[in-house]
Amino acid sequence: MLEIRNIVKQYTNHRALDDVSIHVKKGSIFGLLGPNGAGKTSLIRIINQITAPDSGDIYFDGERLSPSHIGRIGYLPEERGLYKKMEIGEQMLYLAQLKGLSRKEATERIKHWFEKMEMQSWWHKKVEDLSKGMQQKVQFVATVVHQPDLIILDEPFSGFDPVNVNIIKEEILSLNRSGATLIFSTHRMESVEELCDSIVLINKSKKILDGKLSDIKNAYRTNTYRIEYLPSPEPVSSVDGLFTISDTTHIPEESITLTVKIAQGKNINDVLMYLIPRVHIHGLKEIIPSIHDIFVQQVTAQATHPLIETHE
């Protein structure tokens, strides 16, 4: 859906993007991640043709990105852009018509979304009369009402309570099932885990990691497991060449939980063969690093991980 090739963006004394290339597969939910100041917003603005790159190319659905594609993109900016003293219904009509809808078609779609989001009574209200979360709902509807092929959401959950976060998540998934491609930028790593198929991590203007979410998480597995067993007379200790114990949690008369790292060349079956004759195991789970853990590790270390890609 979107191919970004070797984008460079230089401001007076700051390089915001340094030779960044990204491939966003059609029909995917793509996570655009990075700490503050990494270059994410600069890239989003270039995709939306608010600014232009100094060098590099962008292709939208196989064609070089041009103003003709603006109507096929929906953009929810982190800094919201609603007119505070304008009635919400008229404002939605105005924004929808800017995206190419007729007034009649815009009215029908807005009413549909207002009903869906329980906003029917808001038509004649002004933005300044709404809470931050309510304003966010209006902004979300303005982003998707023209049924864009590519939807870019920059911190879409800002200002929402947990109930409305879940509502927006369900709408994101519904839009994706209907064929929309989404680029999703957020600091909420748990939402990335729930929603995204693939991610890219940008730090200090450079891409340092990208690929399918599952592939990236698998690449950071450490052969570490959490094993829970019933209390036994003899304590379990590390075994040279098989496993080491990094943490033990003991709940008297209930259970003991070990966090074990398996030695190189061994696997969980080898550990179980050792433990089963000694203890009664009733819980086993591999500890796979979360995207939050990987994000923090990569950004903190400022290290470049070998590119993880899959070609489909």
pLDDT digits (tens, 9 = 90+) for 195-251: 999 999 888 888 888 889 889 888 888 899 999 999 887 888 888 999 998 888 888
The average pLDDT across 190-194 equals 86
Pick the CATH number of 2-218 from 3.50.50.60, 3.40.50.300, 3.30.70.20, 3.30.70.270: 3.40.50.300
Residue with tokens 């230089």: 10
Backbone angles phi, psi at 216, to 5 degrees: -65, -45
> pLDDT-based confidence at 310, cuts 50/70/90?
very low
pLDDT at 270: 93
Query: What is the pLDDT at residue 175?
Result: 93
- Calculate the alpha carbon distances from 176 to 51, 83, 123, 191 in Å: 27, 28, 27, 15
Q: Which SS3 state, helix, strand or coil, does residue 134 take? A: helix
pLDDT in tens, 115-143: 988 888 888 999 888 888 888 888 899 99
Q: Picking from 44-53, 104-113, 159-168, which range would have the lowest pLDDT averaged per residue?
A: 159-168
Position 304 pLDDT exceeds 70: no
Token code pair at residue 89: 């219904």
Within a 10 A sphere around the Cβ of 286, how many other Cβ atoms? 12
Q: Report whether 262 contacts 242 (CB < 8 A).
A: yes
C-alpha span between 299 and 34 (Å, rounded): 8
Global confidence as pTM = 0.80
**Using alpha carbons only, what angle is made at residue 136 by residues 61 and 203, rounded to the nearest 5 degrees?**
55
